[in-house]
Chain A
């Protein structure tokens, strides 16, 4: 078995202008959109169909703080994306900062869950908590996966940027687009539960 590189992974195919890795990325995003559409559909059914929907029973302070951290991470990640083609040192600094903010988001989320579970607001006690834990849990798993990829880019990126800058740039592009998609889902969760 030969180790053939995937054609047109990092450079556009001349006739269609399509990169194979970007096509794969958008297919993954499409599957995640459908996953979250199903969960948000369940939320709409439960919320509108319920006569008793105690939104005030959820923890409000930590999700609000987390939203600011998520918004800050978007800025940092976008600036890192701009720096990837210009200055490797600046990119590594901003990327590390974005990774740190992502880990902070997960930490605050786990603290919020601990508070909710500690005061007996289990997924089994009300549909509100059930769908809240499912939605935020799926989101946290995907966020953790994105952070693992970001960490891998940080560790392997320096040598790859020297050997194959286009490949490095495409990896960063994919991680950023996925991060932005998760941020959109984050704010949809905030609107769905707290507005």
Chain B
């Protein structure tokens, strides 16, 4: 049987938190890249992000590939 949802007093704090989170605010870009996309600092930051993201992505892909390989082998060799 489906229970009918009723607003209770203890629903107020999480409800207010959700309202606060979705309330539109001004967004400010960080001063490094805002306004000057061709500056050397921006290019340096982009290279750093690409390098770190690339290595982390490769590592996570490798770990996922290892997990799938082990799982497949275990399934194939199961008694």
Could you list which residues of chain A lie within 8 angstroms of chain B, going by C-beta atoms?
Answer: 14-18, 26, 30, 33-34, 37-38, 40-42, 44-51
Given A16-B74, A17-B73, A38-B52, A33:B47 Cβ within 8 A: no
Q: Which residues from B are CB-within-8-Å of A38?
A: 52
Interchain residue pairs with CB less than 8 A apart (26)? A14-B77, A15-B73, A15-B77, A16-B70, A16-B73, A16-B74, A16-B77, A17-B73, A30-B59, A34-B55, A34-B59, A37-B51, A37-B56, A41-B48, A41-B49, A41-B51, A42-B48, A44-B48, A44-B51, A45-B44, A48-B40, A48-B44, A49-B40, A49-B41, A49-B44, A49-B45
Return B65 CB to nearest CB of chain A, in Å.
12
Return A74 CB to nearest CB of chain B, in Å.
22
Q: Which residues from A are CB-within-8-Å of B78?
A: 15
Given A34-B56, A37-B51, A15:B41 Cβ within 8 A: no
Give the 3 A-B CB pairs with smallest separation, nearest first. A49-B44, A48-B44, A45-B48
CB closest chain-B residue, reference A17:
B73
CA distance A42 to B48 in the complex (A): 6
Does the CB pair A50–B51 fall under 8 Å? no
Does the CB pair A49–B73 fall under 8 Å? no
A37, A42, A47, A51: most-surrounded residue (chain B CB, <10 A): A37
Given A16-B70, A17-B73, A18-B70, A37:B44 Cβ within 8 A: no
The DSSP consensus for interface residues of chain A is: helix
Given A15-B73, A18-B70, A51-B40, A45:B56 Cβ within 8 A: no
Q: Which residues from B are CB-within-8-Å of A51?
A: 40
Does the CB pair A30–B73 fall under 8 Å? no
Q: Which residues from A are CB-within-8-Å of B59?
A: 30, 33-34
CB contact between A49 and one of B43, B51, B63, B77 (< 8 Å): that residue = B43
Return B31 CB to nearest CB of chain A, in Å.
13
Contact with A along B47-73 (1 / 0, CB 8 A): 111011001100100110010001001
Does the CB pair A37–B74 fall under 8 Å? no
Return A44 CB to nearest CB of chain B, in Å.
4
CA distance A49 to B77 in the complex (A): 53
Return A8 CB to nearest CB of chain B, in Å.
12
CB contact between A41 and one of B52, B70, B73 (< 8 Å): that residue = B52
Return B74 CB to nearest CB of chain A, in Å.
5
Q: Which residues from A are CB-within-8-Å of B45?
A: 45, 49
